Each structure stands twice: as C-alpha cells, then as structure tokens.
Amino acid sequence: MLRGWRATAALPSGAGKGKSLPVSLRILSPLFYSVVPMGTTAKEEMARFWDKNTKSNRPLSPHITIYEWSLPMAMSITHRGTGVALSVGVSLFGLAALVLPEQFPHYLAMVKSLSLGPALIYSAKFALAFPLSYHTWNGIRHLAWDMGKGFKIPQVNQSGVLVLVLTLLSSAGLAAM
C-alpha cells in the first residue's frame, strides 16, 4: 500500500469509519485501495525535460537544422504536402458543388469569358496537374517499397529522379489537353 495514503479516501462517504462496506463494494474494495495518485503532472514533467535539455546545452534531436537535405527527404515531405493539398482541394470542390447555385458548365463558361491567354491557362492547368501526377507516381514508388523493392540508397535516389521526370512529363501532357 501507499505510505500516507488513507485507505478510505476513495471509498463512499461513511465507509471505513468503523462501518462495514456492502457486499458488492467489499468485493471491489481492492480496486478502491489500489488507486495511485499522480506524482507529477504532465506540465511538471515537460518543465523538467526542458530544464534538463537547456542545462545540457544540446540541440533538440532530431532537429531539422542538423540534417543535410536529401532528395528522398524532400520528396517525402512533398508527398505528404501533395496528399493534404489534394484532399483539401477535392473536399472544397465537392463542397462548392453542393453549395454554389449554378451547375459546373456555368462556371466553366464564366472562366472562358475572361479571355485569359493560353500561357496562363496552360500554367494553371499544369499547377493543378502537378500535385496529382507527383502524388500518383510517388505513390507507385511507395507501393514498390511496400513489396520490399528499391531500398538501397542508390535505388532510392534513382527512383526519386524517375518520379520527378515522370511527374514533369505527365503534368505537361495533362496540361496540354
């Protein structure tokens, strides 16, 4: 048992002061007695952690400033970013389709009536196609990794370059449509 812990603290009022517990609570009484008070709060633990690290004068680990950026590292972050961007974009497009009063052809005609130059339209289409292409090709790369293929560092770098080349080519092709 805990030192300084009153056994009656967690019991119903009046129980344990010379009175016997009901049968149902006597069976459960070990559960009441085994309640352990928290020694420290999460805030105190966090303060101790930061004090220790400040006194030792060491950087946070892992810290972004100690890493030399590599192609796979940048591609991993970009893959996550494109995944978030695509899911937000699809969600907003779906929400707009539900909320806006007109049908899609109306808004397409409105964009066409702006008479934007072909270079601007191509750039906008490329900007929309790039995240989709990148996330698709890099997702295929991840599927190959899931099968245990291409884990050696030279293969990781080669597949990264291949993903970038395929992304640029497919984005350019989709934007040209």
CA distance linking residue 115 with residue 109, whole number of Å: 10
- pLDDT, tens digit (0-9, with 9 covering 90-100), for 4-52: 444 444 445 554 454 566 666 666 666 555 555 566 788 888 888 888 8
Domains in the chain and their CATH numbers?
A: 8-54 (no CATH), 77-176 (1.20.1300.10)
* Residue 51 vs residues 39, 45, 48, 55, 59: alpha-carbon distances, Å: 18, 10, 5, 6, 13
Residue type, 169: L
- pLDDT, tens digit (0-9, with 9 covering 90-100), for 69-109: 899 999 999 999 999 999 999 999 999 999 999 998 999 89
